[in-house]
A and B are shown apart, each in its own frame.
Chain A
Amino acid sequence: MEQQVEQAPRKKKKQDKKLEFEAGKVFSPGKAKEEDMDLDLDSARYKAQKGQGGDRRT
């Protein structure tokens, strides 16, 4: 197989990104007021039997 990269690489033009990752949002999130999840727990009851993967995604 011919090796693919032979030329000196060219610098890629940087693109401006609109949204910047902010570590503070996830590492120092502050306190949240106590609240329960607003989930549909009736449908959360897993119905598959032992050994049945159910609608498992890959």
Chain B
Amino acid sequence: MRKRIQGTEHEYTMYSKKLASKGFDPHTLALELLRESDLQLAGEFITNGSRCYYDVGHFELSTCEVSNPFDMLLWEKAGEKVIDWLRRVTEEKYLSSGERIWAFKNNTSPEGVSYGSHENYIVDRSVDFPEKFVKELVPHFSTRFIYTGAGDILDGKYVLSPMIYLTSAVVSGETMHNTGLINTRDEPHSDRSGWRRLHVICGDALMNEVAILLRHFTTTAILQLMEMDKLGDAPRLKSPVEDMWENVEKTNPEAWKVHLNGGKKVSPVDIQRYYLAKIENIVEDDREKRALKILEEVLDGIEGRKSKELARRVEWLDRYFAIQEAKESKSGPEVEMMACKQYSEVGAERGIFYKRQSKGLVERLLKDGDIAKAIKEPPSDTRAALRREICDRFNIESIDWSTVMVGDGDRRRIDLPDPYAHRWEDLHGTAG
């Protein structure tokens, strides 16, 4: 598969009853500590090329630009660990023993609001937008949640994907209300004439490594197939939003239905099998073939209802089991909601997901040593590496994704319009 610049943005929530009672916001305290740490690079950027900032009650972490789904998984997990470390050092500095700061990677907060976990993919500007995306990508976005859903309890019921549950349109420019499967925001952070940044806001915040990989592997592959004009025969859905609203509340795959134009009804698994067959034609190396095999096994597992085995890779299913287990071992009216929230706690010794991972109940794809390296270093093959090099060489006055102002006597602006440019020599290559 071709390289494709991509990244994710997560709004992490930190919660501390003690700090709240004193009028302090743990997000801002954590950010202050980050700026004083050896992870700080310049401005809002940290040394691995990711960007951290305060965003209306949340700690937002936008990962660095990566070039493929496998790196995406690695740097997203690195970001999660940065948050966990900050939570711990903030706790140590500002709280007494036994007092806690909790940090969550999910989509609905203890204050009862929802917030985003967004994916971004650079796509060729020449692909018709939004027409081609509606025809060829919406069938994917409205059905992929069967293996990319995080699970949550909303409106008193268990749903497979909170963000799919809350999505209300096929196409929309909104990000807070009336959101769409296709978001029309157009901020490429790169050369506008060549690229579009597809901003995906209908995906869930995920803990499971396999689910994160599949989310990016499938979407990356489908975008390539769209650019190659290989999806002209994609299934035409009659009512994608209504169908996903129905399906997202059902944990039994046999109850899922997708209505096609012409009256036929199929399963979301059938739609995903269409994409699986297409993706098979473009996978090249061993790790891509392995990811394709995992996708096939997951779809087989859903159809075969091999739920225990599947829960190792499908987060909504594992969260569902974790909630059931909590109900069996504890009593009280809040047990289900407590387990649902605590599943997404990023603390490795406290979060239910991480407890289950340490028991071997959840499949792993990454090694901790690789994540530790990715916490400090950017990927070597994207603009993040070049931005880091500029910061290492110069004193920085201001910095953004695609522009750096350096001030070493003469104040100069360095433009970085190509998100794939990663070497110092590339700067001269892009000179006009």
A contacts, CB < 8 Å to B: 1-5, 9-13, 17-23, 25-27, 29-32, 35-41, 43-58
Check B178 against A43 for contact (C-beta < 8 Å): no
What's the Cα separation between A12 and B375 when bound, in Å?
22
For the A-B complex with A20-B37, A57-B115 known, give 8 more contacts whose Cβ atoms are closer than 8 Å: A5-B427, A21-B376, A32-B347, A38-B100, A41-B110, A52-B177, A53-B167, A57-B11
What residues on A are CB-neighbors of B113 within 8 Å? 54-57
Check B84 against A56 for contact (C-beta < 8 Å): no
DSSP majority for the A interface? loop
What residues on A are CB-neighbors of B177 within 8 Å? 52-54, 56
What residues on B are CB-neighbors of A18 within 8 Å? 36-37
Check B112 against A57 for contact (C-beta < 8 Å): no
Q: Known contacts being A47-B112, A56-B114, is A21 close to B375, with CB within 8 Å?
A: yes
CB distance from B116 to the nearest CB of A (A): 6
B contacts, CB < 8 Å to A: 11, 15, 17, 33, 36-40, 55-58, 81, 84-85, 88-89, 100, 102, 108-116, 152-156, 165-168, 174-179, 241, 245, 334, 337-338, 341-342, 345, 347-350, 368, 371-372, 375-376, 391-395, 408, 412-415, 427-428, 430-432
Check A39 against B33 for contact (C-beta < 8 Å): no
Our pick among B57, B175, B368 for the contact of A27 (Cβ within 8 Å) is: B368
What residues on B are CB-neighbors of A1 within 8 Å? 415, 431-432
The chain B residue sitting closest to A40, CB to CB, is B110
Our pick among B109, B112, B334, B414 for the contact of A4 (Cβ within 8 Å) is: B414
Q: Known contacts being A1-B415, A11-B393, A12-B394, is A55 close to B114, with CB within 8 Å?
A: yes
Check A57 against B431 for contact (C-beta < 8 Å): no
Check B110 against A19 for contact (C-beta < 8 Å): no
Check A39 against B110 for contact (C-beta < 8 Å): yes
The chain A residue sitting closest to B56, CB to CB, is A57
Our pick among B38, B57, B345, B414 for the contact of A57 (Cβ within 8 Å) is: B57
Q: Known contacts being A4-B412, A21-B39, A46-B108, is A54 close to B81, with CB within 8 Å?
A: no
What residues on B are CB-neighbors of A9 within 8 Å? 393-394
Our pick among A22, A40, A45, A53 for the contact of B178 (Cβ within 8 Å) is: A53
What residues on B are CB-neighbors of A36 within 8 Å? 338, 342
What's the Cα separation between A43 and B108 when bound, in Å?
11
What's the Cα separation between A54 and B37 when bound, in Å?
35
Q: Known contacts being A10-B408, A56-B115, A56-B176, is A37 close to B341, with CB within 8 Å?
A: yes
Contact sample, A vs B, 16 pairs, CB 8 Å cutoff:
A1-B415, A4-B415, A5-B428, A10-B393, A10-B394, A21-B376, A26-B348, A29-B348, A40-B17, A40-B110, A48-B154, A50-B245, A54-B166, A55-B113, A57-B116, A57-B176
The chain A residue sitting closest to B183, CB to CB, is A58
Check A48 against B114 for contact (C-beta < 8 Å): yes
The chain A residue sitting closest to B85, CB to CB, is A26
CB distance from B412 to the nearest CB of A (A): 5
CB distance from B92 to the nearest CB of A (A): 9
Q: Known contacts being A31-B349, A57-B115, is A19 close to B89, with CB within 8 Å?
A: yes
A3, A12, A46 — which one has the most chain B CB atoms within 10 A of its CB? A46
What residues on A are CB-neighbors of B350 within 8 Å? 32, 35
B152, B153, B334 — which one has the most chain A CB atoms within 10 A of its CB? B334
What's the Cα separation between A37 and B408 when bound, in Å?
50
What residues on A are CB-neighbors of B37 within 8 Å? 17-21
